[in-house]
Each structure stands twice: as C-alpha cells, then as structure tokens.
C-alpha cells in the first residue's frame, strides 16, 4: 500500500526516455485512472508513470493527467479510456 492508499505497483521510473507512452501526473486519483487505462491498453511494461514535476513541466504539460506518446502530449486534463488510448495509438502509427 502506497501513499494515499494507492498501490505501489505503479512506478515512476524517473523518466524512461525510451518509453513510447508516458502518463504524467501528480499521483492523484485521475492520474492513477489514466495510468490504469494506459496499462490496460498497452501493458504495464509499455507505460512509464512520471510524477516528477520538473519532468512534467519540461514536457510542456500544464494540466494533469497527461498522456505523452513518442514525446508529444496527446491528451491533458482528461482521463481517457483504454479504447480511446488504443485509437490514439492507431492514429499515430
């Protein structure tokens, strides 16, 4: 059990630059929900969960949660469903 009753299985790798998809957020409920949807759509090994505020600001994210694909912010301030994430990935491929 982690901070605020969240599971510690969610990981902040400190910014894995090789990750194709990143969920950026402060660790709030919406951020965790987006991370869960992203891992459902892609698998946990394909998603990097970034909570470092300096990295989030560096990416140009002004509203969390944010979904970043290949270094580009594709969604901010919204919790996407797994199906919406799959659609975004398909559009970017």
Instruction: Report the catalytic residues.
Output: 28, 31
**Terminus-to-terminus CA distance in the chain, angstroms?**
36
**What is the arrangement of strands in the sheet containing 72-76, beginning at the earlier edge strand?**
47-50, 21-24, 66-69, 72-76
Sequence-distant (6+) residues with CB within 8 A of 83 are 41
């Amino acid at each position: 059990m982690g901070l605020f009753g969240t599971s510690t299985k969610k990981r902040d790798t400190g910014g894995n630059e090789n990750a194709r998809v990143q969920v950026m957020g402060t660790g709030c409920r919406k951020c965790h929900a987006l991370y869960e949807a992203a891992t459902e759509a892609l698998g946990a090994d394909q998603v990097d969960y970034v909570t470092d505020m300096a990295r989030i600001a560096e990416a140009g994210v002004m509203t969390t949660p944010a979904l970043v694909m290949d270094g580009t912010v594709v969604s901010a301030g919204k919790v996407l469903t797994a199906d919406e994430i799959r659609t975004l990935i398909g559009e970017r491929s």
